[in-house]
Structure 1
Amino acid sequence: MRDRQLSRGARRAREFEAFVAGAAGRLLHAATLLTAEAPDASPRARRLLTLALAHTYAHWDRLHGEDPYDCARQYLASRFARTTWHQYGAFGRARPDPRSPLAVLTPRERLILVLRLYEGVAEEQAAALLGLPTERVHTICDRATATLLHPPRPAPPRTVGREVAPS
């Protein structure tokens, strides 16, 4: 009995290690896009990834044929949404790194854009995951895409001060 448990535990560990070897890079990239951190300095993204992988490992035996990547991605997205809500209020703006390609987007826009375009999640699934109507997800995704394609122009520098003397 004890040998069977050890064998099962070793098999579980090998399966999970193989999953992490194949999926961690893509999940880290998704987390880095979500947090809008620089790719070379992404502590929040790494924490999100660690939490998502720990959650997936904890539920490994209960997946029963479900895709572990989908489980990890769902946890990553929901954890990002929850943390952003609590830290910044109603998907408030964190201070993204200007080197991030998605820095101009709000956290909600980043979340929906990453789920829809980078991860290929259907609108209906993204809406269900986030608790939003499908139309709202569609609108936010369109707005985020338009913002990335046509970024807002920086405000012109304001000149202070030189008054023209009357002639």
Structure 2
Amino acid sequence: MRDRQAAQQARRAREFQAFVAGAAGRLLHAATLLTGERPDANPRARALLTAALASTYASWDRLRGEDPYDRTRTVLVVRFARGAWRRSRGRGGLLARLSPQERLVVVLRLYEGVAEEQTAALLGLGVERVRVLSARAVAAVLHPPRGPAPGVSGVSAALGGPSGASLGKGASP
């Protein structure tokens, strides 16, 4: 009986380690975009990701066919949205000037490629509200107020790549 439990725990640990090895970079980039921190100085994003991964690991055996990436992303977004990360206006990046709700919508819609309906359901908003937030955020990023330039220039740099190459579900940071 103990051997069986030990084997199950070892299998669980291996599966989770493989998941983290494959998904942690993209999830950290999403968390960094949410917190508005610079990619090279992102302690709040790392803490947010650590909490999301811990939650996923705790429920690993109960996933039963559910995508662990989607589960972790959901936990990440919910933890950010609940206010623990509201003081997250970082100094670097174009997304730092957006409100936390606008950042959530931009990261989910443009970086993660989540559909409007799914984004609305995840955030507890109407689809039209998601559209409005997305349009307002994109306008704010594309047409920033005049003044000193932010630490990162261009939308593509804010979202992780040249010419927006990292946008969409299939790309990785």
Q: Which TM-score band applies after superposition, normalised by the shorter structure?
A: 0.7 to 0.9
Q: Give the whole-Å Cα distance in 1 for the aligned partners of 2:84 and 2:107.
A: 15
Task: State how many pairs are aligned.
Answer: 148
Q: Give the whole-Å Cα distance in 1 for the aligned partners of 2:109 and 2:90.
A: 20
> What residue number does 1:55 align with?
55
The residue correspondences of 1:1-167 to structure 2 (distance < 5 A) are: 1-84=1-84, 94-97=88-91, 99-154=92-147
TM-score (norm 1): 0.84
Aligned amino acid, residue 136 of structure 2: R
Bigger Rg, which one: 1
Aligned amino acid, residue 125 of structure 1: Q
Q: Give the whole-Å Cα distance in 2 for the aligned partners of 1:84 and 1:17.
A: 27
Deviations 1:59-105 (A, max 9, x none): 100000110000000000010011257x56xxxxx4321x2131221
**1:84 and 1:107 in contact (8 A); partners too:** no
Secondary structure class of the residue paired with 2:73: helix
Q: Give the whole-Å Cα distance in 1 for the aligned partners of 2:23 and 2:89.
A: 28
Displacement after TM superposition at 1:113 (Å): 0.2
Q: Give the whole-Å Cα distance in 2 for the aligned partners of 1:134 and 1:95.
A: 25
TM-score (norm 2): 0.81
Secondary structure class of the residue paired with 1:33: helix
> What residue number does 2:167 align with?
none
**2:30 and 2:111 in contact (8 A); partners too:** yes
Q: Give the whole-Å Cα distance in 2 for the aligned partners of 1:118 and 1:95.
A: 19
**1:35 and 1:44 in contact (8 A); partners too:** yes
User: Where in structure 1 are there 5+ consecutive unaligned residues?
Assistant: 89-93, 156-167
Aligned amino acid, residue 107 of structure 1: P
Q: Which moved more, 1:145-154 or 1:68-77?
A: 145-154
**2:89 and 2:97 in contact (8 A); partners too:** no
Which structure's relative contact order is higher, taking Cα pairs within 8 Å and 6+ residues apart? Answer: 2
Secondary structure class of the residue paired with 1:151: coil
Q: Give the whole-Å Cα distance in 2 for the aligned partners of 1:122 and 1:36.
A: 22
Deviations 1:120-162 (A, max 9, x none): 111111111110001100110011111111112239xxxxxxx
